[in-house]
Structure 1
Amino acid sequence: MGGFVTSKTEIEQSTWTPRQIWMLTVSCCAVALVVAAMAALNTALPDIARDTGATQTQLTWIVDGYTLVLACLLLAAGALGDRYGRRELLMFGLVVFAAGSAIPVFIDEPSWIIASRVVSGVGAAFVMPATLSLLTAGFPATQRSRAVGVWSGVAGSGAIAGLVISGFLIEKWSWHSIFISLAVVSGLILVASFTIASSKDEETTPLDFLGTALIATAIGLFVLGMIEAPVRGWLNPVVLALLIGGIATGVVFSFVELRSAHPLLDVGLFANRAFGSSATSLVLQFLATFGMFFMLVQYLQLVLDYSPLQSALALLPMAVPVMALSVVSPLLIPLVGLRILTSVGIALLGTGIALVTRLELGSSYVDVCIPLIVAAIGLGLCTTPATAAIVSNTPDAKQGVASAINDVTREIGSAIGVALAGSILATTYARHVQPAVDMLPEPAKEPVSGSLAAALHIAESAGSQGDQLADFAREAFIEGMNQAALTLAVIIWVSAVILGFWAPGRQKTAKALPSESTAAPLA
């Protein structure tokens, strides 16, 4: 009889109700929408520039305006969700996101497109933490990490989905169709949100206005500094002021929160090894992933001559291991612990980036797939355990803030990855292309030394010498990509060793995280 009772308990713990499945579906659709929106416009930038006359600076802010506002507001939005209701804040965010996405359909001047992205970023900041905190509040501890695993897989694959879908839309219609699609999908998810249950912190506490202002300023300054660093240079006074200002404001935020009776964020959580190492792991994961994306998308389009849609489809195989392992890895947490999953996953991610250095001028798509798959396996192993550790080591009443921490680390990591990869690639490219630049007429020197895209454009009109210039510029780009990839790989490998000592082992992880071992046989 005892065995029968245990089996029944296992079934109860491993079975999701239709209501839980529906909540998971709505949450995953919402997070996929806001993550896809980060990457979707990259394929449309040339068309937007041609149709609207947008400058390079305006094009940059069409992409970065969304990310900057999103990163600034995540923690405040998560705290508001805990206080006023997570579903309600999700729905508010979807309304704002839809409104922002609809603006370019009616007014498509560059300044209005930037404004559209800023408004959409505000909406996304309310949507993103609500999606995860609804799950952590709506699933019991024994089922939570598997639900988080599905969410992590979708969130990790959302950027690729955004590139692919936007590529299809651009092939058939104008770039306006991307904004229309974002607005329509947001509206559909909004309708579905009426059918899911809400949750909030039952204990009403005063809002931490000072902490909110400080953390928004700190993140905003730091991310803006990272955005500007590849353009202005790391030693530019403006960049240094932004980065140092962001770090200094973050330090002030920590002191304020330690002395606050009702802090926005309990900074003491970072002293918890599972929480602190997992937050750091997420920064590194997205630093590596977006740094690699930044290089490979250009390599596919400018070296292998892929179209925007083809380059997006070329990245699609990466989503398969990420999704599969994100669902499976929660079952591994109680068996091997956070330390092994984190250190092995991060190390594989670094190895995937290192394999980018094997790409050459005549490499095939198979050569591109190998680093993508290796990196995807690493990402799939460590993403869900990191997210599960963060939400499981945060009080249930503060799951909105925990979800926001999970999201903020991703945004900061993405900004650092693109900034580092972009800076190293640009500097190395400029150095290696210089012999060809010295032989060019004065008007062509600056564009050719500035980017491979500009060099190829000039090569098209250079007659018989254009092919030589194009090949030389492509070789210089590959040198820059190799240097950037090797630098990122070393950073990630060293971090994997550090996390191997920092993250808790199996026994301590089991105490920190709810075990799903009883559910494993039926999963």
Structure 2
Amino acid sequence: MNRETVHRRRWYILGVLNFSLLVVVLDNTILNVALKTIADPEAGLGATQSQLEWAINSYTLVFAGLLFTFGVIGDRLGRKRVLVAGMALFAVASLLSSYAQSPGQLIAARALMGLGGAAIMPQTLSIITNVFEPHERARAIGIWSGAVGLAIAIGPVTGGLLLQHFWWGSVFLINVPVIVLGAVLIALLVPESRNPDPGGLDPAGVLLSIAGLVTLSYGIIQGGERGAWLEPGVLGPIAAGLAVLAAFAWNEARIDHPAFDVRLFRDPRLSAAVAAIALCFFAASGMFFFTGFYLQSVRGLSALQSGAMLLPFAAAQLIFSTRSAAMVHRFGARAVCTAGLLMIAAALATYPLIGVGTGTPLWALGVIFFVQGAGMANVMPPATESVMSALPREKAGAGSALNNTARQVAVAMGVAVLGSALAAIYRDRLAEPLAALPAGARAAAGESIEGAHAVAARLGAAGHGLAGQADAAFVEAMRTTAGGAAVVALLGALVVLKWMPGRAARDTPEPEGTDAASRERAGV
């Protein structure tokens, strides 16, 4: 496909790539709505709080650990080819997830989905970078980010509809027809491209990164599950994980073809942008993990109603993501990103006002979600454009992988840290009411709010008090955790304000090696 044809079709190509992106984002947003059902011993798999965390983190950790490698593989073998292969693998893993018979099988299948997602995500952004000229790239990336908002809107509502009529596995099975249609459109419209001088692979770095992240996450989740952070079974994995990650960083800084090029962080624009992405998603992801439990278990909403409650968040994403390029042009990336992170911090800071039962109107929750979505929509596009514009087009796969690695590691750590903090606070607040229960019931109720409701249901009339106490403990834990997340978002705003360049950055010329001849050699 010649350059002129690609230029004519560039907006259609963007649409197809965004459709492919829906598969990856849709899966996680649907899963958030389905967590309560999966935790149900009768309607689902009876998964505990820690198993639910691993169902999310097995995906995100494999995803994050392999993003950079698949970015390089796409640069080497062809981005279109790797994109289609990743979608096929994602389809197979979705089928396995939908028919999992135990939490362990679901966790393993989700890890395989992370492998497919890692092949898909970096190719979409690197193809966009190669297809669009610099003067249109910011707008295209804004639309790409807006597609995330669309998936956030579609995911929870679709998940709610599916759970209303089918079994929990249908939330994964829905991926298959989306993938088939996406693969056909990719074959027809998307051009092949590759880096004429790709880097080598780094299997040692990939293994070290995954081992370090998994071990660290295991220690953090164990701390939340046990409610004791100073035990050897908690401190040991955390220390080991940090040591492995330190070895990973040392290895990546000294080899020629690293899986994750830490030397890229010498560029302050890139490092500040990556920090903004990471802190933004760390703060937001943990909150979304337990928002579904609050809406369904505490407020008594159905899965469909719970999904509909996230529509304001998605609407804000769609509205503001597509306008971010104009905002950056007028005010500069630093101002827009800082304002976005402050909006996220403000939204999270209002969570302590949320009450138990019907005390907080649902419209007020919708306003909070809208502000949070608007904040994220003003962080992601300018930060992503800062990352991509700091690298030449030939390294678009590496830049895309760097951007998405930061996001996925932040999601994994956010779910692990904030989820574990919430679990520990919840268990501590519920310790006294549970003291009179038998050991088995006490353990089940302390695992999660769904476990407490199941125990309360078995107790009959005597269980009404326990259900109310569990709701109160969960809401108090959510309030405290949200306060910590707000502090993280505020820290992100300070980092961006200090180190991200202002309006002058938009006039920075494209890095050397991105002229027409270079692009022709890259096959675009």
**TM-score where L is the length of structure 2:** 0.87
**How far 1:127 moved relative to its partner?**
0.5
CA distance in 2, matches of 1:373, 1:27: 26
CA distance in 1, matches of 2:437, 2:92: 48
Match in the other structure for 1:28:
18
Match in the other structure for 1:360:
355
Structure 1's 215 and 118: CA in aligned 2 closer, same or farther, altered over 3 A? closer
Q: Count residues in correspondence.
A: 499
Question: Is the 8 Å Cα contact of residues 272 and 495 (structure 2) preserved in structure 1?
Answer: no
**How far 1:17 moved relative to its partner?**
5.5
Match in the other structure for 2:426:
429
2:371 pairs, out of 347, 371, 374, with 374
1:494 pairs, out of 491, 495, 505, with 491
Query: Are 2:57 and 1:70 aligned?
Result: no
Question: Is the 8 Å Cα contact of residues 316 and 377 (structure 2) preserved in structure 1?
Answer: yes
Letter of the aligned partner of 2:15 in structure 1? T
**How far 1:425 moved relative to its partner?**
2.1
Structure 1's 17 and 186: CA in aligned 2 closer, same or farther, altered over 3 A? same
1:389 pairs, out of 386, 389, 400, with 386
Equivalences for residues 185-204 of structure 1 within 5 A: 185-195=178-188, 196-204=190-198
Which stretch of the first structure deviates more once superposed, 72-81 or 40-49?
A: 40-49
**How far 1:53 moved relative to its partner?**
5.4
Which stretch of the first structure deviates more once superposed, 447-456 or 188-197?
A: 447-456
Query: Are 2:301 and 1:298 aligned?
Result: no
Identity %: 32
Equivalences for residues 308-327 of structure 1 within 5 A: 308-327=303-322
Question: Is the 8 Å Cα contact of residues 37 and 162 (structure 1) preserved in structure 2?
Answer: yes
CA distance in 1, matches of 2:369, 2:78: 39
**TM-score where L is the length of structure 1:** 0.87
1:507 pairs, out of 504, 507, 517, with 504
Equivalences for residues 177-188 of structure 1 within 5 A: 177-188=170-181
Letter of the aligned partner of 2:127 in structure 1? L
1:192-244 CA distance string (max 9 Å, x none): 11121121101244334444444444444444545544334544545444443
Letter of the aligned partner of 1:425 in structure 2? L
Structure 1's 114 and 218: CA in aligned 2 closer, same or farther, altered over 3 A? closer
1:141 pairs, out of 134, 140, 145, with 134
**How far 1:491 moved relative to its partner?**
2.5
**Residue aligned with 1:50, SS:** coil
Query: Are 2:393 and 1:399 aligned?
Result: no
**Residue aligned with 1:261, SS:** coil
Query: Are 2:463 and 1:466 aligned?
Result: yes
**How far 1:136 moved relative to its partner?**
0.7
Structure 1's 91 and 143: CA in aligned 2 closer, same or farther, altered over 3 A? same
Structure 1's 332 and 512: CA in aligned 2 closer, same or farther, altered over 3 A? farther
Equivalences for residues 37-436 of structure 1 within 5 A: 37-44=27-34, 46=37, 50=42, 56=48, 61-103=54-96, 108=101, 112-195=105-188, 196-232=190-226, 234-361=229-356, 362-436=359-433
Letter of the aligned partner of 1:329 in structure 2? S
Structure 1's 133 and 455: CA in aligned 2 closer, same or farther, altered over 3 A? same
1:396-424 CA distance string (max 9 Å, x none): 11111111111111111112222232233
Question: Is the 8 Å Cα contact of residues 274 and 512 (structure 1) preserved in structure 2?
Answer: no
Question: Is the 8 Å Cα contact of residues 295 and 421 (structure 1) preserved in structure 2?
Answer: no
Letter of the aligned partner of 1:427 in structure 2? A
> What 5-or-longer segments of structure 2 have no aligned partner?
1-5, 512-524
> What 5-or-longer segments of structure 1 have no aligned partner?
1-15, 515-523
**How far 1:86 moved relative to its partner?**
0.7
CA distance in 2, matches of 1:159, 1:237: 39
CA distance in 2, matches of 1:388, 1:377: 18
1:281-312 CA distance string (max 9 Å, x none): 11111112112212321211121101122111
**Residue aligned with 2:73, SS:** helix
Letter of the aligned partner of 1:123 in structure 2? G
**How far 1:265 moved relative to its partner?**
4.0
Question: Is the 8 Å Cα contact of residues 217 and 246 (structure 1) preserved in structure 2?
Answer: yes
Match in the other structure for 1:7:
none
Letter of the aligned partner of 1:354 in structure 2? A
Letter of the aligned partner of 2:326 in structure 1? L
**How far 1:82 moved relative to its partner?**
0.9
Question: Is the 8 Å Cα contact of residues 153 and 380 (structure 1) preserved in structure 2?
Answer: yes
Structure 1's 403 and 113: CA in aligned 2 closer, same or farther, altered over 3 A? same
CA distance in 2, matches of 1:376, 1:19: 30
Query: Larger relative contact order (C-alpha < 8 A, sep ≥ 6)?
Result: 2
Which stretch of the first structure deviates more once superposed, 144-153 or 154-163?
A: 154-163
